[in-house]
């Protein structure tokens, strides 16, 4: 049920409009002047506002301008018994959906209301489409710095092959994004992309997660289960944070890479697999090998191609483009008006110590969108971004 706000200083007009619209099954609230109307418009979500022009405290044109200043999105229809063409044109220029003169024609009123609400539905549909477009672009690698251009060049060369790739870099640098780009630009792109966070799975469950299990293999194995390697058949498996994998699981992954087959936990039958393996780690695997924590033979199997994703502190030239990307993306996701950022604020972000890399930058931009002004200022950055 659409919700409509009527703002008019004449009680009979308010009552008549409310009665008509409620008869048409709309939910209606009223305000007796521009000041009350502005407060209600801010505090509640209305699908349409009907606003008189001549009112005490704040007149209709001033109220319309105030609503435009805060990027109020619902359509506003202006009503006046004192109007003329100039007033109507001014209202439309400021952003009114339409203008109706008093005395009100019932048919004209209802047609205008329905047109305005249909326009509102189209706006909402457009927002949803924009969200889908942005989601389709989430895998874009943003930036043109030397380090990130090397990464893009490697992806272009390596993606069409079936070569195994080991992606290195700190937490939050975008290793998963690189893996997804490798898959989406490969001949396997129509097949599954299966991600496994090796650090998030307990060591006693990692083998079952990767290779599956047969019914009765252990106490809670009430039915057979396909593992991630089987789920990725024909596609790509991404082993994230592989440096945290247990020694037992490492041995089985090595066999899978050597022989292109796996065995489920509790099973005896070999299952052939056709899977491209991409791995990633934030650890120094050479150091882990020397300390006996990682198999050297597995390292060599995984690292046919090495791609290093630079830290954000090493690609500061990309920060303006990344900030612009996240400003647009977060505003679209939240359905909020697009915000801008001042030159001084952007400079402050470029000089910030990004220990959390891209992930931290995204979170900071979202925080500034929520807490900052319509234009994010240097003061907003100083207030809401914790200095290091």
Q: What is the pLDDT along the chain (388 residues), one digit of tens a residue?
A: 889 999 999 999 999 999 999 999 999 999 999 999 999 998 878 999 999 988 888 888 999 999 988 878 889 999 987 667 788 888 888 889 999 888 888 898 999 999 999 888 887 777 666 555 544 444 578 999 999 999 999 999 999 999 999 999 999 999 999 999 999 999 999 999 999 999 888 877 888 899 988 887 776 777 888 999 999 999 999 999 999 998 888 998 999 999 999 989 888 889 999 999 999 999 999 999 999 999 999 999 999 999 999 999 999 999 999 999 999 989 988 888 889 999 999 999 999 999 999 999 999 999 999 999 889 999 999 999 966 5
Give the contacts of 314 (CB within 8 A, at least 6 positions apart).
Answer: 147
Length of the chain: 388
Please give the domain boundaries of the chain with CATH numbers for all domains.
Answer: 3-132 (3.40.50.2300), 146-310 (3.40.50.300), 313-384 (1.10.8.60)
Name the helix (H) or strand (E) containing 71. Answer: none
Predicted local confidence at residue 83, as pLDDT: 61
Predicted local confidence at residue 296, as pLDDT: 96
- Strand-pair category, 270-272 with 261-263: antiparallel
Question: Are the C-beta atoms of residues 240 and 280 closer than 8 Å to each other?
Answer: yes
Predicted local confidence at residue 127, as pLDDT: 67
Predicted local confidence at residue 134, as pLDDT: 43
Q: In 312-356, where does DSSP find H-type helix?
A: 319-334, 343-350
Q: How far is CA 182 from CA 147, 280, 283, 308, 369, in A?
A: 17, 13, 21, 14, 32
Predicted local confidence at residue 29, as pLDDT: 93
Predicted local confidence at residue 87, as pLDDT: 80
**Alpha-carbon gap, residue 376 to 202, rounded angstroms:** 42
- pTM attached to this predicted model: 0.65
Best CA proximity match to 131, nearest among 331, 322, 341:
331
Give the contacts of 297 (CB within 8 A, at least 6 positions apart).
Answer: 254
**What are the backbone dihedrals phi and psi of residue 303, each rounded to the nearest 5 degrees, phi first?**
-100, 45
> 44: exposed, middle or buried (C-beta count within 10 Å: 0-12, 13-18, 19+)?
exposed
């Amino acid at each position: 049920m659409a919700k409509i706000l009527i703002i008019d200083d004449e009680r009979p007009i308010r009552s008549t409009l409310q009665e008509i619209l409620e008869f048409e099954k709309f939910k209606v609230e009223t305000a007796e002047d521009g000041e009350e109307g502005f407060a209600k418009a801010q505090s509640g979500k209305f699908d349409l506002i009907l606003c008189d022009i001549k009112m005490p405290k704040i007149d209709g044109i001033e109220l319309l301008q105030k609503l435009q200043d805060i990027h109020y999105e619902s359509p506003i229809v202006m009503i006046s018994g004192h109007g003329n063409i100039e007033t109507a044109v001014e209202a439309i220029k400021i952003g009114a959906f339409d203008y109706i003169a008093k005395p009100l024609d019932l048919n004209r009123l209802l047609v205008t209301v329905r047109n305005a609400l249909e326009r509102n539905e189209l706006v909402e549909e457009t927002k949803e489409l924009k969200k889908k477009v942005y989601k389709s672009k989430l895998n874009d690698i943003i930036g043109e710095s030397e380090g990130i251009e090397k990464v893009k060049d490697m992806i272009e060369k390596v993606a069409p092959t079936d070569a195994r790739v080991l992606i290195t870099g700190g937490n939050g640098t975008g290793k998963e994004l690189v893996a997804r780009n490798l898959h989406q630009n490969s001949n396997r792109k129509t097949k599954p992309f299966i991600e496994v966070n090796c650090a998030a799975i307990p060591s006693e469950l990692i083998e079952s997660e990767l290779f599956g299990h047969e019914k009765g293999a252990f106490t809670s194995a009430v039915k057979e289960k396909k593992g991630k390697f089987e789920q990725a058949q024909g596609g790509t498996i991404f082993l994230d944070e592989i440096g945290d994998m247990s020694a037992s699981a490492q041995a089985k992954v090595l066999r899978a890479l050597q022989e292109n087959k796996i065995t489920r936990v509790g099973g005896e039958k070999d299952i052939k697999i056709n899977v491209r393996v991409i791995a990633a780690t934030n650890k120094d695997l050479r150091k882990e090998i020397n300390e006996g924590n990682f198999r050297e033979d597995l390292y060599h199997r995984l690292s046919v191609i090495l791609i290093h994703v630079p830290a954000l502190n090493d690609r500061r030239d990309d920060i303006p483009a990344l900030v612009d990307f996240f400003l647009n993306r977060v505003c679209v996701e939240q359905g909020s008006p697009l915000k801008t950022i001042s030159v001084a604020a952007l400079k402050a972000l470029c000089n910030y110590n990004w220990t959390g890399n891209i992930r931290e930058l995204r979170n900071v931009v979202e925080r500034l969108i929520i807490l900052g002004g319509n234009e994010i200022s240097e003061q907003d950055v100083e207030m809401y971004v914790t200095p290091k």
